[in-house]
Structure 1
Amino acid sequence: MLKYFLPAGRLTHVLGNPAAKDILSRPLVKRRREASFLWSKWLTRCDDEHQRCQVEADATPSRLLFLGSDDSGDGDAFRLVDCPPVGEKTLRYAAFSYCWGGDQEYKTTKDNKSAYYNNIPHEALAPFKSITDAIHVARRLGLSYLWIDSLCIVQDDAADKGREIGKMQDIYAGAYVTISAACAQTSRDGFLDSMADDSLDFEMDYPCIGGATGAVFLTKDQITSDRDDQPIDARAWTYQEYFLSPRVLVFERRKVRWRCFTEAHEDGGHDNDSGFKLLNSGMLARMGPAELGREWTLAVERYSRRYLTVQSDKLPAMAGIAATDRRAISPACGSRAWRGSWRGTLPGATRGA
């Protein structure tokens, strides 16, 4: 038991326990499928209280995946639906960010597109656990629509791909929430069954102020070392998807994290607004050309370390971030200032190459 008193350990509580008034930190949620109350809490708080997280996109995806409804008995009746254009009826949807892990075996093509508007068999999706997990999360958040690139873009139609990729910035910016399968290497892996090791916690009674007896856990904290070692961090497209989304629910190997333009939370730790928050266009607009240039350079450096299956996607996979940065600064400084903010760094970057 002494190992729990190492400097890396921490004292934690579970939600609803009397000890919660005295102990701020919570242990990891062991069973992710039972933790949707926590995801919903973060999302509802953001939707109700965070003005800066309310983003209106300039365009919508051409189509979405309709998830059916467990209550109506059509819970397995997945199908594609056309998305109304901006200004008409708004369909609240989640966007999915994940690693393909090679060419997708199950995708929308010219041959099956019409059939998928009628029905996408549940048994056909079942082997692709990341996709079925995303459907589960979206439903638990009360959403009936989900955007998944492999299904919502006609993969062998160059015109359709070009049109939808051109709207990628708005697709993720306009999503009610983005679900990030950070710990899954492929679409078959899934991300809801990844959880913390039960052996890391030791439970003990805790005498609370007022006489009640609560319970606390001595936790050996081994959850911080793998934050930058998630499979999704190696894929180029997902960098833009994370950056552009106003709200992201990130499923890592040992932890679930929430990031929005206002707050940062995690399922194990403190329930407050500390930690890294997403940058939004408003924050970028308050930066001067030099500071924005540094942000852009940092973004390019991080992006350049990532992997692309299709090399011709190199510019499209970064275009949304470039457009966000450019639009943020040009009202105040003009496009010349935007270009000049990083142009001066190029000679130094290539010197000695």
Structure 2
Amino acid sequence: MLVSFSPSLLFTRYNSNYSTMESNFQGIVPASDAPTKRKRPTEAEHIPTAPKEPPAPEFLCQDCVKLDLSKAFSVEDTSNETTKMAFAPGRWGYFNAWAVDVGHRYRGTIITNCNLCQMLFNSRVDEGDTKLDGDGDWLRAVSFLEICGLVAYKPHRWISKDIPFLMLFSNKNYDLYENRKKVRHLIQQSGYAALQQLNQQQAIPFSPKVLSPVFDLGTFQNWFDYCNGNHKLLCRSSKSDLYGTHVIDCQDQSITQHEPGMPYVALSYVWGQPQAQKAVNDGKRLPAQLSLLIRDAIAVTQAMGFRYLWVDRYCIDQDTPTAKHEQIRQMDAIYSNAELTIIAAAGQDENYGLPGVGKNRPKTRMEAHIGDVAVVWAPKDPQAAIKSSKWSTRGWTFQEALLSRRRLVFTEQQAYFECNAMNVYESFDIPLDSLHIKDRSKSYEYLRRGVFGGNREAEFGRLNLEKQGPTEVFNRYLSNVEEYSARKLSFAEDSLNAFRGIAQQFWYGKHAIHNIWGMGYQTPPEERTSSFVHSLSWRHTSNCWDLSQSPQRRPQFPSWSWAGWEGEVQYEIIDSKQKSWFDNLIRAVSVENQIDSPTALEMIAPNPDATCIFPVVIFTAAVVPSKLISFNPNAASNKRWQIGKYKANLALSSGSVSESQFAEDIHDSHVWQCVCIGAALKVSFVMILKVDDGSDLWERAGIFAIDCYSHSLEKMMETREYKSFRVR
């Protein structure tokens, strides 16, 4: 439950040990009904010749003042001379019909106090031409909803709610439809200049607004209260019991035992340099010196009306392995029980702080007025900012975000809020009701999903894991593995620890996904083998001779598990709500612990506490004769390998110093074997095995992904030889 908010909390003075923090807490400003009256601190100016205060939006240079942007809102389609049919707002091509020849005025960046000039300089599309058209440039208005990727399609009720934004092209007839992904990427990474009618009466979803240099606490309160009051199913707390968990008492600056029913906020961040950490005990005070991020997080926690904050560095006893392991085992409960998780996605580590809290954000305020039209600069898409942050490269932070019910993410330019039912951010003035279905329980499923934990093949909707079908849930698990594997860990032994909470989340769902060494499989015995083999079909995105990013072996884990390697993996995921499209070609699968006899996969009694007791997998599969494998070093990189007559893509994790050397080695059947394991529609998989010297065991070395269906692969091998392999 959210404690009632008091603005006085924003400026709480700490005791003498914390007097140095005071200045870092004064940047948080609560939203008001009249934001124009809010006192804002003066920003540092980045252009030496510009005034200290940003120029007024009415200030325009002599070139910009001549632009009649109002015509972008009332354009007729003149392509049909008979009907002269007017385009309805939001239809593809509507805003594209407006274009103005602006000559060379905005071709090169110059120092200017005109905000519109600066916005247009940043709105050029690189069309890939070797040289710019000498006749000048064209300023065009582009349909936001058609380009942005925030909606899968536009229902009729949204037709009147589109907005145009400005782009600069050297070619008047630049095909936006063919190049929409390129333009989308540009505006997501760099921002865009949006047009608004100053006399607009109706609030428009996705309407950009000018950002304050400080975090807008009032906007967050609106988001949180809306979620807390309406998203009863998707964002409810699991209320799992916590054992031996500690939290920071922000009021007393002490570390105290968490009690049942005690609301708290969690923090997800990138650690800085290791610090001396004493064992956690009730009543221990925080160190006198805290990093800027921790100080900012304490300030935000209190400003939001909460007293307790969970921070792993101070709330987990890092020096006691038993206590540390106990807390890692309940990481899913720690984050899912938190009322909110603050995510620090700006800067490199905890010494940077939260932009807009301890220090002002970089200058992003740009606005210009021409008649009854306002041009507002919308900054970088926060989802893109999160994905490109240092925070998104770290292994532990992945599950911290996924396991949380609500996340407040601080990027360099703005705050982003994502719960399990919606995602919104500061640079859009969004009426929340317009994003939700009638009962307000979740946002529309044709809207872009959040950035955390979904299936990469499903960009929109299907928010509730419990209402997804078994194939959707399994695909979501594989997508989580893909994203997690791309992240870095300081210690190889944490490969599964930092994924444990996510695996547990899937373990207890309606369509449960169990796992062995992180390799997921579906619960029904008849589905286990096929889904487990699908899990075995992972492949690294880089080869072992790609020195800068080659996969690295983690010997603590089996070679057949993605957890046994450092390196990004990918799966062939078929987006399906009904059935799995994976074809299993392995005859039988069993596992063993090298002490007891092998256990068939169908006979295993799933136990979340015993997922890592079988280091060896045994399977029987058809061997691909090496004479069918060919290599052409002179072909294009994606056509060098063939199996039979079919193109094959090689992903070799280890075992050879070069591709040419591997082409010679693969024909030594005493050392190398290639076996058919399965296919996802028209992509078949052949696992590459390398003998483990001095034993009868093999290790997984890589995989071939072949452009053919499973029956084509089987037909190619006229006489199939089946062998059994023990792989560790």
Instruction: Indicate whether the TM-score tops 0.5.
Output: yes
When the two chains are superposed, the root-mean-square deviation of aligned CA atoms in Å is 3.0
How far 1:191 moved relative to its partner? 1.7
Aligned to 1:59: 241
Aligned length: 322
8 Å Cα contact 1:19-1:216 kept in structure 2: no
With normalisation by structure 2, the TM-score equals: 0.41
Counting aligned pairs with the same residue, the percent is 22
1:137-174 per-residue CA deviation (whole Å, 9 max, x = no partner) reads: 11111000000000001110111101111110000000
Q: Structure 2 residue aligned with 1:30, among 198, 204, 212?
A: 212
Aligned to 2:264: 93
Aligned to 1:276: 449
Q: Distance in 2 between matches of 1:39 and 1:98?
A: 20
Aligned to 2:195: 11
Q: Which amino acid aligns with 1:82?
A: Q
Q: Distance in 2 between matches of 1:93 and 1:10?
A: 38
How far 1:3 moved relative to its partner? 4.9
Aligned to 1:147: 310
Question: Structure 1 residue 219 and structure 2 residue 377: aligned?
Answer: yes
Q: Distance in 2 between matches of 1:302 and 1:187?
A: 23
8 Å Cα contact 1:326-1:335 kept in structure 2: no
- After superposition, the Cα gap between the structure-2 partners of 1:296 and 1:23, relative to the gap in structure 1 and judged at 3 Å, is closer
8 Å Cα contact 2:249-2:256 kept in structure 1: yes
Q: Structure 1 residue aligned with 2:257, among 82, 104, 111?
A: 82
Q: Which amino acid aligns with 2:363?
A: D
1:124-145 per-residue CA deviation (whole Å, 9 max, x = no partner) reads: 22xx011111111111110000
Structure number with the higher helix fraction is 1
Q: Distance in 2 between matches of 1:230 and 1:141?
A: 25
Q: Structure 1 residue aligned with 2:412, among 238, 241, 253?
A: 253
Which 10-residue stretch deviates more, 266-275 or 334-343? 334-343
Any idea what SS the aligned residue of 2:195 has? strand
Any idea what SS the aligned residue of 2:477 has? helix
Which 10-residue stretch deviates more, 3-12 or 170-179? 3-12
Aligned to 2:325: 162
How far 1:316 moved relative to its partner? 1.2
- After superposition, the Cα gap between the structure-2 partners of 1:65 and 1:330, relative to the gap in structure 1 and judged at 3 Å, is same
How far 1:57 moved relative to its partner? 2.9
How far 1:324 moved relative to its partner? 1.0
How far 1:66 moved relative to its partner? 0.4
Q: Distance in 2 between matches of 1:97 and 1:220?
A: 26
Q: Distance in 2 between matches of 1:202 and 1:223?
A: 18
Aligned to 2:10: none
Any idea what SS the aligned residue of 2:369 has? strand
Q: Structure 2 residue aligned with 1:348, among 529, 537, 555?
A: 537
- After superposition, the Cα gap between the structure-2 partners of 1:331 and 1:3, relative to the gap in structure 1 and judged at 3 Å, is closer
How far 1:234 moved relative to its partner? 0.4
Question: Structure 1 residue 117 and structure 2 residue 283: aligned?
Answer: yes
Aligned to 1:299: 480
1:101-137 per-residue CA deviation (whole Å, 9 max, x = no partner) reads: 342x153x23xx44x714325x422xx0111111111
Aligned to 1:181: 344
8 Å Cα contact 1:50-1:262 kept in structure 2: yes
Greater relative contact order (Cα 8 A, min sep 6): structure 1 or 2?
1
Q: Which amino acid aligns with 2:448?
A: G
Q: Distance in 2 between matches of 1:41 and 1:201?
A: 25
Any idea what SS the aligned residue of 2:300 has? helix
Q: Which amino acid aligns with 1:124?
A: Q
How far 1:32 moved relative to its partner? 2.7
Aligned to 2:426: 267
Q: Structure 1 residue aligned with 2:390, among 199, 208, 231?
A: 231
- After superposition, the Cα gap between the structure-2 partners of 1:136 and 1:152, relative to the gap in structure 1 and judged at 3 Å, is same
Any idea what SS the aligned residue of 1:226 has? helix
8 Å Cα contact 2:449-2:463 kept in structure 1: no
How far 1:97 moved relative to its partner? 0.4
8 Å Cα contact 2:249-2:308 kept in structure 1: yes
Structure 2: segments with no counterpart, 5+ residues: 1-115, 121-165, 168-191, 436-446, 455-461, 514-521, 540-686, 689-701, 703-728
- After superposition, the Cα gap between the structure-2 partners of 1:346 and 1:268, relative to the gap in structure 1 and judged at 3 Å, is same
8 Å Cα contact 1:236-1:303 kept in structure 2: yes
Question: Structure 1 residue 315 and structure 2 residue 473: aligned?
Answer: no
8 Å Cα contact 1:97-1:178 kept in structure 2: yes
Aligned to 1:212: none
- After superposition, the Cα gap between the structure-2 partners of 1:22 and 1:188, relative to the gap in structure 1 and judged at 3 Å, is same
Which structure has the larger Rg?
2
Q: Which amino acid aligns with 1:276?
A: R
How far 1:94 moved relative to its partner? 0.3
Q: Distance in 2 between matches of 1:269 and 1:341?
A: 45
Q: Which amino acid aligns with 2:465?
A: L
Q: Distance in 1 between matches of 2:512 and 2:334?
A: 23
Q: Which amino acid aligns with 2:377?
A: T
Q: Distance in 2 between matches of 1:28 and 1:106?
A: 43
